[in-house]
Structure 1
Amino acid sequence: MQNHRYHILSTRELPADLLLAATEQGMDIEIRSFIQVTPIVSDTLKERIQPLLREHVHVVFTSANAVHAAADYMGGSYPAEWQVYCLDGATRHAVERRLHTDQRFITTDTHAKTLAAQIMAKGNVPAVVFFCGNKRRGELPDLLRQHGIPVEEIVVYDTTEAPVAVEKTYDGIFFFSPSAVSSFFSVNKLPPDTVCFAIGQTTAGALEPLTNNRIIVSTGTSAQQMVQTAIFYFNNN
């Protein structure tokens, strides 16, 4: 990689220190957001969420956006008796930081389907509350309902596609969600040599019907792991 600079497009914001670290490894990353996330503000949500803080409930998060949007309704209080099931990486970090949840009460996985399997394997989960966005994927709630576990979905944020036509050619593109995949490919086509990097299997699955390009799944669900995956790939190919 030292003899060639690689040009990457990231479809979401990345921390400045991570961009600098990538630059030092010969990778120049350009940021363009392809979705817009807007927390939902309503008295109805406040009236539903705040009583839950005092209850022993099983709660599911599959995105950090849902954690942040739900936490905004908590008014400085924290759920002491929530059993939280969430995806690893940014979502777990948001749970620990915004909900102050003890690690003993957090169950994680890297994929929604296997997270659902963990919930079912517990054997003592009467129902779950699923905080999500308006474009949530159905794998987890559908699987739980099929196995007799009721799911209350509380939609706390809206995701809107914000397509941008890309004129440059990139060596790789970072995709962090199926919504970003849909937004990107609604107005763009990729040259055959551009590599698609997906944050997880769900995002990779969204890419597969839209492109024949190589798809590389990140070794983990954090932005840092995505960057490290790309660095390793280009160093070895």
Structure 2
Amino acid sequence: MTPILSTRILSDQQKSKLLKQGFSITEIDFIQTHSIEFELKNIGDLLLFTSQNAIKSVLQHPKKDSLKSIPCICVGEKTAKLLSKNNWKVLHYEEYATDLGNYIKKHCTKNRITFFSGNLRRDVLPNVLRNNQISHNEIQVYKTILHSEKVNSPQKAILFFSPSGIQSFLQQNSFSDEIIFCIGKTTAEEASKHTKNYIISEKPTIDSLIECVITHFTE
């Protein structure tokens, strides 16, 4: 068995793929997200989401239905699917915030954008909005908390799903000779500050990351 650490809890289906290929899996949630109270005010004519966590938090608001008529742009295919599933119109999505920023600069300069964010959000999109003088406001709707644990058993690989996950892991652990698998370029940027021994999944999705791990160890 090849021991690997996942820094978030996987679904049964995701775990099954790895178990069938001879991996033994340790799962620890190194970050926790919590919805917070917020007010829906000064809402623009275009909504911006960069994570599913933001959508889930907005869906808990008693006045959520007042937002459903406003179109959205977002980061991530899964984020777009969750918006569509909940009856929002998704005008456009990109897999990375940098690419969505380029879209905003080309197509959204006349909009009033409301960005639903978390406390550890990156500055990429706020900088695009400010630097291009695009009318916008930001509403923080969830909180990410680093939840570090000491990992004592040696691992062949560690799976990371966000820059925050790496930061949390390194609070009580360090990298040695494990292969670090990253869910996309943004997470890989954080990994590169601490190790050269990292691999980026083809797409920034959990399924793609799992395929990447399987391919690496079975080929």
TM-score (normalised: structure 2):
0.91
1:221 partnered with 2:207:
no
User: Which structure 2 residue ranges, 5 or more long, are not aligned?
Assistant: none
SS at match of 1:186: helix
Matched ranges for 1:109-124 at <5 A: 109-124=94-109
1:172 partnered with 2:168:
no
Once the two structures are superposed, residues 80-121 of structure 1 have per-residue CA deviations (whole angstroms, 9 ceiling, x without a partner) of: 432211122332232223x3224xx33111111111111111
Residues 119 and 125, structure 1, Cα contact 8 Å, conserved in 2: no
* Aligned match for 1:23, one of 10, 19, 26: 19
1:232 partnered with 2:219:
no
| Aligned twin of 1:64 | 52
| Aligned twin of 2:115 | 130
Matched ranges for 1:1-237 at <5 A: 5-41=1-37, 45-48=38-41, 52=43, 57-74=45-62, 77=65, 79-97=67-85, 99-102=86-89, 105-192=90-177, 194-212=178-196, 214-236=197-219
Once the two structures are superposed, residues 140-197 of structure 1 have per-residue CA deviations (whole angstroms, 9 ceiling, x without a partner) of: 11122111213311100111111111111111111111111111112111222x1111
Q: 2:215 and 2:185 mapped to 1: Cα distance?
A: 19
SS at match of 1:185: helix
SS at match of 1:135: coil
Q: 2:135 and 2:184 mapped to 1: Cα distance?
A: 26
Q: 1:15 and 1:125 mapped to 2: Cα distance?
A: 41
Q: 2:62 and 2:142 mapped to 1: Cα distance?
A: 15
Once the two structures are superposed, residues 122-146 of structure 1 have per-residue CA deviations (whole angstroms, 9 ceiling, x without a partner) of: 1554231111111111011112211
Pairs aligned (count): 219
Q: 1:186 and 1:66 mapped to 2: Cα distance?
A: 25
Shift of 1:46: 3.9
Greater CA drift, 23-32 or 166-175 = 23-32
SS at match of 1:59: strand
SS at match of 2:139: strand
Shift of 1:78: 6.2
Residues 45 and 70, structure 2, Cα contact 8 Å, conserved in 1: yes
Q: 1:117 and 1:162 mapped to 2: Cα distance?
A: 33
User: Which structure 1 residue ranges, 5 or more long, are not aligned?
Assistant: none
SS at match of 2:58: helix
Residues 105 and 128, structure 2, Cα contact 8 Å, conserved in 1: no
Q: 2:8 and 2:57 mapped to 1: Cα distance?
A: 18
SS at match of 2:117: strand
Shift of 1:77: 2.3
